[in-house]
Amino acid sequence: MDYKDTRKKFAKNMGASAIGKYTSLLLKLLLNILLSRILSPSDFGIAAIAQVFMVFFDLFTEMGIGPAIVQKKNLSEEDLQVIYKFTYGLAFIAAFITITAAYPASVFYANEAYKKIFILLSADVFFQALYIVPFNILRKKQNFMQISKYMILGSLTRFAVTLVIALLGGSFYAIIAGGLAEDIALFLLYFRSFPIKWGVKYRRGAIKKIGSFARNQFVFNLVNYFSRHTDTFLIGKFFGAAKLGYYDKAYSTSRYPGSLINGVLSPVLHPVLADKEKRPKDIMWAYLKIISNLAFLALPISVFFIFNAKDIVLLLFGDRWLPSVPILQILAFSIWYQLISSASSSIYQAADRTDLLLLTGIQSGAFNLLAIIAGIFLGSPSFVALTLVVTFFINFVFSHYLIFYRVFNSNFKPLLIVLAKPMLIALALALVFSIMPNFDYHPLVNLLINGGVTLFLLALATATLYFLEKTSAGKRKQ
């Protein structure tokens, strides 16, 4: 498949994926806005801890199986059924382990509510495990339109159930029950598209086909989990649920841009590039094009969030969430390189180098853990955010060193070239915001003014670069 075919296929799949992802994100954002006016920061803090536990137990049901199904081309229909049955066994085990963790969690956080919470979590873990195989079979077949339909139906289910329970006074249970309702709906939808065949006999050979790839992916996911979620565990323990609620609100808000872009990009990128496993140069040029486009969006977004954090928080969540503002301003510095880095996992997977993915996971996990401990020691969630921003950048550099030097057999020069122009645009935008007066209008009006300035500068920069490239091309022809 040549570059044009790959680009057309990629664009088509991106469009199909975007329908479901953006609808889901819009519903999630709307739900978050409504819940911020119904539930307290403490409720959000407790729910954040519960959801982090949920992600942890999910790791032991997924076990890297999903990406392995997408990558491995020698899996027969019977192999997939064997793996499917295997995930059912994992689902029962993970649900049982989740229930047994209820008492230790309630003791650690000195809150009896976690005993009931973990019963709901065990059911959620169980149902989420049951659709791992059919979901990734659809990804392998690049049937992103069907995935989008299911995603929208699942998100609508979560939205309705969560909001009703919250309005009835269900506090943090509303968030957890909504997630469970979504996963039950998704299980039913995916089971309908790919039902399990219990008559297929178990064969170890089917598991062996995905063994090494899945193992490296699972260990990476496990390490990455602790590097990404230890802050939630420790802030909840040492600073309390309310401060965790403020921190989690800022952290989740800083990740919205990444969710909007990479939530659509990453699921599509691996299946499309998997066919180029033996052609790393082709993967490199595709990735550079992606980085170039991401950087033109991500760097200005970072600057916009830094200078408009207060208005963003006030507009979306209300004035009782103002303690989240300084944390959001700090985390905004990392938006651009986190957004770019989140696409890198697909590159390791497409090149069948999950060994290097694991290596970068171990490195980033160690650095993030040290940063979180340092932030806790310094005494506030803001310091945790600050130390993490530093280590996120170190992780970005190390991960791209492995990608460009070890996967692509190249160097940093191509990466620096594609980042240079977006960097200049971001610096120009930061300078403009620095000299602009601070408006004291409604947050929506302030954001519209500053958003208009950002879009104008981006349009001006794009037109200028286009003119310069055309002029340079004309001179070369002469």
| Six-digit token string for 110 | 């000195």
To 5 degrees, how large is the angle CA 144–CA 343–CA 417? Answer: 130
Sorting pLDDT into bands at 50, 70 and 90, what band is 1?
A: very low
Rg, Å, the chain Cα set: 23
Higher pLDDT, 222 or 307: 307
pLDDT for 474 beyond 60: no
Predicted confidence at residue 263, as pLDDT, reads 63
Q: Select the more confidently predicted residue: 287 or 214.
A: 287
CB count in 10 Å sphere of residue 23:
16
| HSE-up (13 A, CA, CB side) for residue 403 | 27
pLDDT band at 364 (very low <50, low <70, confident <90, very high): confident
Q: Is 50 a residue whose pLDDT tops 80?
A: yes
Q: Is the pLDDT of residue 366 over 80?
A: yes
Handedness of CA 259, 260, 264, 266 (dihedral sign): negative
Which residues does 205 contact at the CB level (< 8 Å), separation at least 6? 79
The model's confidence at residue 29, banded by pLDDT at 50, 70 and 90, is: confident
pLDDT tens digits along 168-212: 998 889 999 999 999 999 999 988 877 777 666 767 777 777 777
- Other beta carbons within 10 angstroms of residue 26's beta carbon come to 12
Please name the residues in contact with 373: beta carbons below 8 A apart, sequence gap of 6 or more. 234
The share of the chain scoring above pLDDT 90, in percent, equals: 25
Q: Using one digit for the tens of pLDDT, what is the confidence trace for 251-289?
A: 988 888 877 776 666 666 666 666 666 677 878 888 888
Q: Which of 3-17, 190-204, 407-421 shows the lowest mean pLDDT across its residues?
A: 3-17
Residue 310 has pLDDT above 50, yes or no: yes
Distances in Å between the alpha carbon of 276 and those of 234, 348, 467? 42, 12, 34
What is the reported pLDDT for 430?
A: 92
H helices of 352-380, where? 354-378
**Helices (DSSP H) in 239-255: which residue ranges?**
241-254
Q: What percent of the chain has pLDDT over 70?
A: 90
Report the C-alpha gap between 270 and 131 in whole angstroms. Answer: 19
